[in-house]
Amino acid sequence: MSHVVERVRDEIISAIKNDQLVLPTLPEVALQVREVADDPDASLDQLAKVIGNDAALSARIIRVANSPLLRANRHIEDLKTALSRLGMEYTCNLATGLAMEQMFQATSDLVDSRLRDVWMRSSEVAGICHVLCRHYTKLQPDKATLAGLIHKIGVLPILTYAEEHPSLLTDSLTLDRVIDELQGPLGDMILKAWEFPEELVNVPSRHLKFDRKAETADYADLVTVALLQSHMGDGSAIGEMDYQDVTAFERLGMDPDMQSAEAEDLSDEMAAAMMALQ
């Protein structure tokens, strides 16, 4: 790691420890949704009231409920019916993830463009995670989707720091290396601060450990393979990886050859999932 990257890394960590760079907080609607989710006596009516206050989020929830992912045979147009179709836990995890999109915006055009690219990639990965989860695991598809949406959350404080340090913002090579170095551990810090479920807290750091050892498949494995799928053939370092070295495939019971007929069979379903989340 170059001296510049190491210096910026240390400055960001120091700024966070000294409260000079504040970790992002969940949007208000996401906090309200989680409050409902944590109440064992909460009803779908209460959840519908919270989500209904956000027109854009309501529309996206309805779109997911009508998507091919759920193989629904009847089109629905109202939020309450959509919540009934999805269920309380599924809706809460989905709403929490989708509400985060508003965090991926900035005042400067350069940072705003980067953040929107991160969100677009996260949405793609989340859609693929959903499909892989259904076909290869007994994990929960709603949590798999949320894992995809939050796997790059650690980029937020780095780009906030970069906005205040224009020299870093214009040095894209150094900024990319800082992001590669820090997004995982910072993402874990953010999810711990948000009190996310234990099985999701370490997804930001673990999904990038391609030779990771684990006893059983987990949400980080789904994100790992989904990320590789989303980068396949794009010429990036991740896109050019040797999938035979990625341990997540074995735990998921998948063929590392993602050009196989089996992968092709899921491509339409993955495309539908990504479309539903964007």
pLDDT in tens, the chain (278 residues): 577 778 888 888 888 888 888 888 889 999 999 999 889 898 999 999 999 999 999 999 998 888 877 766 788 889 999 999 889 999 999 999 999 988 998 888 888 999 999 999 999 999 999 999 998 999 999 999 999 999 999 999 999 888 888 888 888 888 888 899 899 999 999 999 999 999 999 999 999 999 999 999 999 999 999 999 999 888 888 888 899 999 999 999 998 876 554 555 677 777 767 766 77
The CB-side HSE value for 187 (13 A sphere, CA atoms) comes to: 25
CA gap 215, 120 in Å, rounded = 31
The identity of residue 106, as a single letter, is A
Report pLDDT for 217. Answer: 96
243 CB-near residues (< 8 Å, 6+ apart): 228, 249, 256, 257, 258
The pTM is what?
0.89
CA gap 182, 154 in Å, rounded = 7
CA gap 238, 220 in Å, rounded = 16
Find out whether 175 and 169 touch, Cβ atoms under 8 Å.
Answer: yes
Cα dihedral 200→202→204→206 (10° resolution):
-120
